[in-house]
Amino acid sequence: MLDRVSYHGYPGGRPVWPFDKIKKPAPAPVVVPAMRNAVAVLRLVADGVNTRRLIAPRLGMKRAESVVGVVAELDRSGYISRTRNDGRSERIISLTDKGRKALEMAR
């Protein structure tokens, strides 16, 4: 009886508090990106085309700035990663594990 009262109705031991163990977030499911030219950009990066300046002409765009939105969205979503911008050289693009998985699902 004393144990039941001291632990607020949890017989045999202390209660489990929600902050005792930090739970990892569930991994987000990998889906194929639905943006226009997104899968094409992933394929080009997988083939070794690793800068915006090289990606744009292969997609039929005349200016490298035309592909900025697609690359930025893929970077935010975690499909690609880019090197830090040092202001002197162009940022190198590489695929992440999520990008490789999405590319496999798209084929």
Q: pTM for this one?
A: 0.72
Segment 51-85, tens digit of pLDDT: 999 999 999 999 989 999 999 999 999 999 999 88
How far apart (Å, rounded) are the C-alpha atoms in residues 54 and 44?
9
pLDDT (tens digit per residue) in 76-86: 999 999 998 88
Contacts of 90 (CB under 8 A, 6+ apart): 51, 52, 53
Structural domains of the chain, ranges and CATH numbers in brackets = 33-107 (1.10.10.10)
